[in-house]
Amino acid sequence: MTKQLNDLFDFLRFPSISTDSNHVSDVRHCADWLIQKLSGMGLDTELHETARHPIVIARNTHQADKKTCLIYGHYDVQPVDPVELWDSPPFEPEIRDGKIWGRGATDNKGQMLAHILGVEETLKEKGELPVNLIFLFEGEEEIGSPNLVPFLEKHKADLACDVIAVSDTGMVAKGVPTMGYGLRGITCCEVTVKGPSGDLHSGLYGGAVANPATAVARLVASLHDANGHIAIDGFYDDVRPLEDWERKMWAKVPGVSDDDTLAITGSHAAFGEPGFSSAERLWARPTAEVNGIGGGYQGEGSKTVIPAEAMAKFSFRLVPDQDPEDISSKVQAHLEKHCPEGVTLDVEVGHHGKPYICDPHSENGKAGQIALEKAFGKAPVLIREGGSIPVIQDMKEILGVEPLMLGLALPDCQIHAPNENFYVENFEAGIQLNRALLQELA
């Protein structure tokens, strides 16, 4: 195995799960490993404490006549549950079938380390970089980056740059280089519906009092009409329409047809807002999704009760020009309006982030496309991403620069799920991508 793969395996062995307080020391040790790696490359490094997990900064010696490129990534990872569904231990990486298997392999350790190793190769070969470089790596992306925005605002002058590069997104298909120029935003909430003061016998009291589980089911059903159109008043008011050039371009993008989506997801039929393809629904239309629902007896067999309360978790993906706070207020108004009688409703607002969009035809955008073509040997496709990375829009607003999203993840990489994986060839291409990108930006 190459030294570069050994580096990645060392990086992946840290169970740097940011959401779990039992792994605080693991997240710290992972940050320390990064500091050691970057310092060993001759870069000036800084470890910045936050209220939770540290931020790692690294720089080369800056020169006034060179462009400055900031490369962002995150070294924290998702939890591994249910661990019994993994085919190999999540923090003992291995290579099978041309893929690197392990938690964080794609999201985001493999992608960000490819940039680090690209810089390392250039420094060893040339002795210097063609640009001024800033590495910015955080340990809280998987919990919504709560401490990154204050850090960006505090260190705005020190982080001034001409371009931002991010590899934390995807490719549409194997061998098809992909540049993202948009992300959906997000707002989340959790709903608790309460009825009687305690669980009740469903024979003695059924039909006489409201059932919170039934109430939650009715609230969930109220979010959409029969065709999948979101039924919240005013939800679509600010949605930016698709441009004709986008629809024409996306119709030719491989790997994103309705049939491809079904094959990747294992679903039985396409479903969603009428009048749009699967790609258009994923990249340019908003959503309302139920992420969790529960209440009452969950064990084996029957237990005839009316539960005292029930719950549901919702997330809403947003597109330009929707505002998360505006949508959150409309969601709450909808839930209150449709809450059945006989129960009380509590809505807890969760994390949120704004949608992001940039001009893929800008000077920096063209440099990113050329770099992708050099790394993969063919011209890239241009897409918006269906997922959300709230810090991308935050960086745009605070630093005044549009990030380039140069994804290396494939649709079957299973991020956030058991058996996360990253193709070895994409890891190696990512190293060459970094080298080509810095040269093109220069």
Domain ranges of the chain: 3-183+355-441, 185-243+272-353
Q: Is the pLDDT of residue 415 over 90?
A: yes
Q: Which helix (H) or strand (E) holds 383?
A: strand 381-385
CATH topology assigned to domain 185-243+272-353: Alpha-Beta Plaits (3.30.70)
Q: Give the pLDDT of residue 390.
A: 87
Q: Please answer whether residues 27 and 139 qualify as being in contact, where contact means their C-beta atoms are separated by less than 8 angstroms.
A: yes
> Helix (H, G, I), strand (E, B), or coil: what is residue 96?
strand
- pLDDT (mean) for 102-118: 98
Under 8 Å between Cβ of 149 and 156: no
Give Cα separations from 43 to 123, 127, 184, 207 (angstroms): 10, 12, 34, 70
Give burial (CB, 10 Å; 0-12/13-18/19+) of 79: middle
- Neighbouring CB atoms inside 10 A of 54's CB total 23
The pLDDT assigned to 376 comes to: 97
CATH for 3-183+355-441? 3.40.630.10
pLDDT in tens, 219-275: 999 999 998 999 999 999 999 999 999 999 999 999 888 898 888 889 998 888 999
Which of 26, 76, 140, 309 is catalytic? The answer is 76
pLDDT band for position 79 (50/70/90)? Answer: very high
Catalytic residue among 138, 141, 246, 394: 141
Task: Specify the pLDDT at position 8.
Answer: 98
pLDDT of 146-169, one tens digit each?
Answer: 999 999 999 999 999 999 999 999
- The residue type of 58 is A
DSSP per position, 252-267: T-TT-SHHHHHHHHT-
Asked if 76 is an active-site residue, the reply is yes
What mean pLDDT value characterizes the chain? Answer: 96
Tracing tokens 């607002």 back to the chain, one arrives at: 349
